[in-house]
Amino acid sequence: MSAVVVDKVTKVFNQGRPDEVVALSEVDLTVADGEFVSLIGPSGCGKSTLLRLIADLIAPTAGTVTVAGKSAGTARKQQEYGIAFQQAGLFEWRTVLRNVELPLELRGMSRARRRARAEEMLALVGLADFAGHYPAQLSGGMQQRVAIARALAVQPPLLLMDEPFGALDEMTRERLQTELLAICAKTGTSTVFVTHSISEAVFLSQRVVVMSARPGRITASIGVALPSRDDAGRQSPAYFDKITEVRRALRGTPVTSPAETR
């Protein structure tokens, strides 16, 4: 069974109005179980829209989205995925531990069990010592790690991430990338990761899906096999070859004007 199946999905915003926008046009995407897929493309190519469709935060105009064999709506209600955004979006009145507990709390898990689970998740992202802190006491990178711990708390089969490291400095970003890969490998989670960093997409993903704008559609799907996903991997020729390949795929799409022919 595939983690995500997006079948001929079209999304039109403000349909029938003068400011109508075709955000996605007949998009097909399949994410296999345990696969790490990145969505990359210029601003306005609909990559975030696609992620939000999978999350059932918005509904498709046409086509179907299936998550873990269920409709996207059912999957959301059963918390089949965890999600993290560019802003950590922590609840500032809750301690770090209670932030991670929140999705479990809403699932009706007992106090003792959710506490144990949240502590386990915080240990996973290396923040066990900060359980009692409030979000405002943490740095941006630490907050983002809490957000990831929270997304993983329900141990979902699928992780959706919308530029989660976009607001972080380069060093923190690289460290979190390595941590994220380790976590995904450990938990066997499938991941859909939206980014506009080519190097980030290549380093993290088994597959990089390249999108273009107006209307948003998928123009290339590039498999990435690196010898290793660590600092050595970041310096391997395969890594640089794939970066070039993704960059070419991005350039090959009509970004500025649809009149340019492919």
Q: Compare residues 153 and 220 and give the one whose CB is closer to another protein.
A: 153
Going from the C-alpha of 156 to that of each of 29, 150, 198, the distances in angstroms are: 20, 11, 27
**Residue 18: Cβ within 10 Å count:** 5
Q: Rule CB under 8 A: say whether 83 interacts with another protein.
A: yes
Min dist. Cβ of residue 93 to another protein (A): 4
Read off the amino acid at residue 109: M
Q: Which of 22, 30, 63, 133 binds another protein (CB under 8 A)?
A: 133
DSSP 21: E
d(CA 207, CA 192): 10
Q: Rule CB under 8 A: say whether 106 interacts with another protein.
A: yes
Min dist. Cβ of residue 168 to another protein (A): 16
Q: Which of 3, 24, 27, 85 binds another protein (CB under 8 A)?
A: 85
- Contact pattern from residue 41 through residue 60 relative to another protein, giving x for each residue in contact according to CB under 8 A and a dash for the rest: --------------xxx---
d(CA 84, CA 213): 24
Q: Rule CB under 8 A: say whether 1 interacts with another protein.
A: no
- Contact pattern from residue 86 through residue 105 relative to another protein, giving x for each residue in contact according to CB under 8 A and a dash for the rest: -x-x-xxxxx------xx--
State both tokens at 260: 């340019």
d(CA 140, CA 127): 13
Q: Which residue has the tokens 């086509």?
A: 63
Gyration radius of the chain over CA positions: 19
Number of residues in contact with another protein, rule: CB under 8 A?
25
Q: Compare residues 56 and 200 and give the one whose CB is closer to another protein.
A: 56
| Contact residues: another protein, CB under 8 A | 55-57, 76-79, 81, 83, 85, 87, 89, 91-95, 102-103, 106, 133-137
